[in-house]
Amino acid sequence: MKITKEIIELHGLKSDEYSKIKLLMNREPNYLELGIFSAMWNEHCSYKSSKIHLKKLPVKNKNVIQGPGENAGVIDIGEGDAIVFKIESHNHPSFIEPYQGAATGVGGILRDVFTMGARPIALLNSIHFGDPSNKKTKNLLNGVVSGIGGYGNCIGIPTVAGETKFNNTYNENILVNAMAVGLVNKKKIFYSKAKGINKAVVYVGSKTGRDGIHGASMASAEFDENSEDKKPTVQVGDPFTEKLLMEACLELMKKDSIISIQDMGAAGLTSSSVEMAFKGGLGIELDLDKIPCREENMSPYEMMLSESQERMLIILEDGKENEARQIFKKWDLDFVVIGKTTDTKNLSLKFKNEVVATIPIEALSSKAPLYDRKWVKKKFDKKKINLKEHKKIKFDKAFFELISSPNHSNKQWVTEQYDQMVMGNTIERSGADAAIVKIHQKDKAIALTVDSSANYCKSHPLSGGKQIVCESWRNLISVGAKPIAITNCLNFGNPENPEVMGQFAENILGIKEACEFLDYPVVSGNVSFYNGTNNNNIYPTPVIGGVGLIKNLNKIKNHKFKKIDSHILIIGKTFGHLDQSAFINELYNIHDGMPPEINLLNEKNNGEMILKLIANENINSVHDISSGGIIIALAEMSISSQVGVKIQKPQKISNIFEYFFGEDQGRYLIEVEKNNLSKVEKKLRENNIYFENIGTTQKDYFELEKDLKINVKELYELNNKWYNKFNGLNS
Amino acid sequence: MKFAVIITLKKDVLDPQGKVVEHTLQSMGINSLKNLRQGKYIEIDLNETDEKKAHNIIEDMCKKLLVNLIIEEYKIKKI
Amino acid sequence: MNSSVIVFPGSNCDRDVATALTNLQFKNKMVWHKDSELPKSDLIVIPGGFSYGDYLRSGAIAAKSNILKEVIKAANSGCLVLGICNGFQILIETGLLRGALLRNKDLKFVSKDINLKIINNENKFCNKYKKNSIISLNIAHNEGNYFTQRDHLKELEDNNLIPFKYCDKEGSINENSNPNGSLNNIAGILNNKKNILGMMPHPERMVDNLISNSNGVELFTSILS
């Protein structure tokens, strides 16, 4: 087939990129080769627009065993144990088919983790939908939630934390980010780097179908006369097969048979084989007649670009084939030697006894295009909101509205669809500041959280980048964990738009600054560009997945009030920053202004102080103050414990709304028993930590002087009512 | 007027359930089994006498709700 | 006491229940579904999970496996058999227990801690619980909505074959405290000889106060006594 301009375009390649291909190949590529280039050179595989920015992120410290560049990041948690984790997006597939899109997103990220030899022990997710009143939202939401549950529940890995958010910026482009966390013996970590020549390349797992093949070939009318068959086939997740694949791989990994292993994710067989060969400085030769196919008459093009799920590529040590084959047979999985490593440094494909493609591996990886795309700095809107210029609203009304709003209402109806307890180690589940998962049969645990704040990042990408790292840090601190490292999923619009690229560049700088200051490195991640439609880009939405370590299981805290008559202290200073707050956003529908400032020094001091207080057992409960300010944080503590509060307004505050709804950063609420109060206050003063005592816990009522009084049971109902209304109305 | 709607996954879409059922039957000794795919069967009774109209109504039901057109296809039969 | 945990492809609570059993001093063995021999056992546990992906019907394919023939033989000769969640579904598919487990009334997977009232404690599985006491266990299932014919239901009620029912914190057994639509809030049933128990809640998830609570411990220690 002749490579025409249209075909190149359909493959998403620019004309200068095609010229580069010809130069690297020293000839015109054939159709199959073009398909392979397009798969490897697209944004998803090549990181061509993001790489130069990502390089700025801190990726190392004494805890990091493996940073970005492998299937997932690895950190040391002592005693020979390591934690493997990564977050990844599956936004576009989930918009097309929410159940399968979300399910395969979970499946993909799990493979990234067990590929490295780790047994997955927890799943998390961050899902963002359009306005609840948007017609599509309900369907997408229900589909995504049951897809995430369907996959995680079946494979038997607990979904322990997550966030579900609504904003009309996602009306036409939802976000589905899934994070997986695994546990591995430090000495038994597996990597994707191939070693040695003439080693067997083995295909294991499910058969290859025409799933998710790049739209390019399918849309080309000349390709086939039957047009119905040309749409890319939606990938269907099969968690049962993945469970078998996981058990089989983990069983094989106990032996010394594997040189390298790589899952077939995006761009399937192509990217996995190229990745392994490139890292080892080798070539790879595949015999496509041997690929286990699900459909008849599959072409080499389809086999190489198929994104069928639940497949892996393994390079085996000599003489280990039978042993390995037996294991996969036991689990009823395909196991086929499909090729070998070579010293040619080429990807060489044979089909029906003919060489059908020969491409230098480097051309597909290190020589892929890299762009320093044009970007512009965000212009800021320095105007501060003046509440006096806007409609008057009663304090209690405002609070009731916010606590029952889609974004602040209870998400139990989501998390009850996820098995959070399987594996028997979940100490703290969804709803806590961070989930806590015990390390099986050891006296330690990890804390896990995922966070995002698109509103802040949209209005000030640099500050938003810092904020979201700090928020993650704070959430881990609040349960008594020492934050160790993060993974990030960077969801942005079209990188060819200089404003979007500017958001990206500045956001990365913000993340970098906070990560460096807090010694909280990035060990893995994923970039998802082109979120948006018709030049309507989504708000920049970096999602941070944080992992912390708890060394003493007796020093764990949550945000539930424990007793009545305890004192409630705010740690950190309240200035009353309302711009970009949930209060202003949701109640006034005002979206301009600057987000609250980040003071990294205070952030660090306050956080470390909280950890000390927890370690000395001076405090009963902790909660970080985030979206919705002090009053929403207090409400969350009351709702979860059904213990009320009696709050006094500090005398010097100028405005009750600013004080209680403001979203100043670096703050926590702590519950201190009466007899510990002087001790705790003394400690705070000694360490120059700013704090205010704002009241006490009490039975039954959530109360703020004359401005607000509600029974905690009613408050619970209020916090839960939104979903039932939403679910009832639209069904 | 009664109709049956048979919904199956499109030809190229992976059918995890069918695959496992097929494999189990084969391992139970049913060697002649070549391929098995699983679907849904729905019976619908309509208050409508014009067959063509009725067919259109069912077609509409399929497109609006019964069938996930992204991964499924359907056949309508009068019974 | 010797216990065996049967492992199917897709079982995922096998390790959890094995950990609980071992910590409570059972001598436990894991038994692979393709095995045709069962180790000497006083207790056989069919664990939760998604055997064969729950494909076709939950438990249907596992019920046809090699090892189940041995489990049925052992059960018929009086060995204690405990089926938890998917294990309950499998026991129903084999015919060792009667009735059916339908989709939950809300048609959604439900995972949460629920309350159970001990209705009958005069059996090998519940003798350490006090009659009418309320315990909290975790459930996590799609198909736990127990259904059976009217005459069988009467038999279950009349012959003390229902060890526990879903209730609220105060112990009321009503529609609001029924998480999945089960007939009469049934959370588990025994066979006539009371040596086979099938239950939807997961006792093995409630054996450690640090993680959840220890309300599940008595179920295992009942068996030991």
Mean pLDDT of successive 10-residue segments in chain A (731 residues)?
87 93 95 94 91 96 96 97 97 92 96 97 98 93 96 97 96 96 97 95 94 56 42 83 96 94 91 95 96 93 93 95 95 95 96 96 95 91 79 94 96 95 95 96 97 96 97 98 98 95 97 98 96 88 98 95 97 95 93 93 97 94 97 98 96 89 97 96 96 97 96 96 76 39
- Nearest-Cα distance to chain B for A309, in Å, is 10
pLDDT for the residue numbered A231: 58
Nearest CA in chain A to B14: A236
Supply the CATH number for residue C91's domain. Answer: 3.40.50.880
**N residues, chain A:** 731
Nearest by CB to A240, which of B9, B13, B16?
B16
Domain residue limits at C39: 2-224
For helices A239-253 and A137-155, give the axis angle rounded to 10 degrees: 40
Encoding tokens for residue A170?
């996602």
Distance, CA of A114 to CA of A122 (rounded, Å): 12
Question: In angstroms, how far apart are the furthest CA atoms of chain C?
Answer: 47
Nearest CA in chain A to B10: A233
Distance, CA of A677 to CA of C112 (rounded, Å): 36
State yes or no: pLDDT of B24 exceeds 90: no
Residue whose entry in the numeric block shows the structure tokens 């397009």: A38
pTM: 0.94
Distance, CA of A40 to CA of A12 (rounded, Å): 11
Nearest CA in chain B to A96: B70
Task: Evaluate whether B43 touches B3 at the Cβ level (below 8 Å).
Answer: yes
Instruction: Give the other-Cβ count within 10 Å of A623's Cβ.
Output: 27
Nearest CA in chain B to C56: B17
Name every residue whose Cβ is closer than 8 Å to that of residue C78 and which is 6 or more positions away in sequence: C193, C195
CB contact under 8 A, C56 and B21: yes
User: Could you tell me which of C94, A615, A614 has the C-alpha nearest to residue A623?
Assistant: A614
Burial A282-302 (b: 16+ CB within 10 A, else e): bbbbbbbeebbbbbeebbbbb
pLDDT for the residue numbered A217: 42
pLDDT for the residue numbered A219: 37
CB contact under 8 A, C111 and A420: yes
Distance, CA of A148 to CA of A100 (rounded, Å): 9
**Percentage of the residues of chain C whose pLDDT score is greater than 90:** 95
CA atoms within a 13 Å half-sphere pointing along the CA-CB vector of A291:
33
User: Could you tell me which of A549, A548, A551, A547 has the C-alpha nearest to residue A443?
Assistant: A551
User: Left if phi > 0, otherwise alpha if psi is -120 to 50, otherwise beta: which for A440?
Assistant: beta
Task: Evaluate whether A542 touches A508 at the Cβ level (below 8 Å).
Answer: no
pLDDT for the residue numbered C51: 95
A135 in contact with B at a CB cutoff of 8 Å? no
CB contact under 8 A, C53 and B28: no
- Nearest-Cα distance to chain C for B19, in Å, is 9
Nearest CA in chain A to B71: A234
* CA quadruple C155, C159, C162, C167: dihedral sign: positive
CB contact under 8 A, C210 and A427: yes
Task: Evaluate whether A718 touches A404 at the Cβ level (below 8 Å).
Answer: yes
User: What is the DSSP track for chain C?
Assistant: -EEEEEE-TTB-SHHHHHHHHHHTT-EEEEEETT---PPP-SEEEE--B-GGGG-SSTTTTGGGSHHHHHHHHHHHTT-EEEEETHHHHHHHHHTSS-SEEEPPTTSS-EEEEEEEEE----STTTTTSPTT-EEEEEEEES--EEE--HHHHHHHHHTT---EEEE-TT---SGGG-SS--GGGB-EEE-TTS-EEEESSBGGGSS-TTTS-STTHHHHHHHH-
CB contact under 8 A, B13 and A240: no
Q: Which long-range contacts (CB under 8 A, 24 or more apart) does B60-69 make?
A: B61/B5, B62/B5, B62/B7, B66/B5, B66/B7, B66/B42, B67/B5, B67/B7, B68/A97
Distance, CA of C66 to CA of C38 (rounded, Å): 10
Q: How far is CA A355 from CA A21, A22, C54, in A?
A: 19, 19, 43
- Nearest-Cα distance to chain B for A262, in Å, is 22
Task: Evaluate whether A111 touches A118 at the Cβ level (below 8 Å).
Answer: no
Distance, CA of A21 to CA of A29 (rounded, Å): 8
Nearest by CB to C211, which of A243, A418, A425?
A425
Interface of B with C in 22-51 (CB under 8 A): 24, 28, 38
Burial A161-172 (b: 16+ CB within 10 A, else e): bbbbbbbebbbb
- Which chain B residues contact residue C64 at CB under 8 A? 24, 28
Residues of C with active-site annotation: 85, 202, 204
- Nearest-Cα distance to chain C for B40, in Å, is 12
Distance, CA of A109 to CA of A115 (rounded, Å): 10
Residue whose entry in the numeric block shows the structure tokens 């249209």: A6
> For B2-78, which CATH class?
alpha beta
Query: Which secondary structure element, helix H or strand E, spans residue A60, and what is its range?
Result: none
The complex's ipTM works out to 0.96
Backbone Cα Rg of chain C: 16
pLDDT for the residue numbered A376: 94
A174: β partners: none
Nearest by CB to C140, which of A330, A419, A438?
A419
Domain ranges (residues) in chain B? 2-78
**DSSP secondary-structure letter at A68?**
B
Distance, CA of A574 to CA of A567 (rounded, Å): 18
Distance, CA of A391 to CA of A385 (rounded, Å): 12
Residue whose entry in the numeric block shows the structure tokens 């009143």: A133
CB contact under 8 A, B24 and C64: yes
CB contact under 8 A, A235 and B14: yes
pLDDT for the residue numbered A224: 42
The count of structural domains within chain C is: 1
pLDDT band at C78 (very low <50, low <70, confident <90, very high): very high
Distance, CA of A542 to CA of A632 (rounded, Å): 23
Question: Letter for the amino acid at B36?
Answer: L
CB contact under 8 A, C61 and B24: yes
By CB neighbour count within 10 A (0-12 exposed, 13-18 middle, 19+ buried), where does A387 fall? middle
CB contact under 8 A, C61 and B16: no
Distance, CA of A403 to CA of A401 (rounded, Å): 6
pLDDT for the residue numbered B71: 84
- Which chain B residues contact residue C55 at CB under 8 A? 16-17, 20-21
- Which chain A residues contact residue B12 at CB under 8 A? 209-211, 229, 233, 295
Instruction: Give the other-Cβ count within 10 Å of C205's Cβ.
Output: 31
Encoding tokens for residue A687?
């360490």
Query: Which secondary structure element, helix H or strand E, spans residue A89, and what is its range?
Result: strand A81-89
Catalytic residue among A90, A214, A460, A559: A90
Among chain A, residues having any CB pair with chain C shorter than 8 Å are 146, 149-150, 153-156, 238-241, 243-244, 330-332, 412, 415-427, 438, 440-441, 553
Task: Evaluate whether A368 touches A40 at the Cβ level (below 8 Å).
Answer: yes
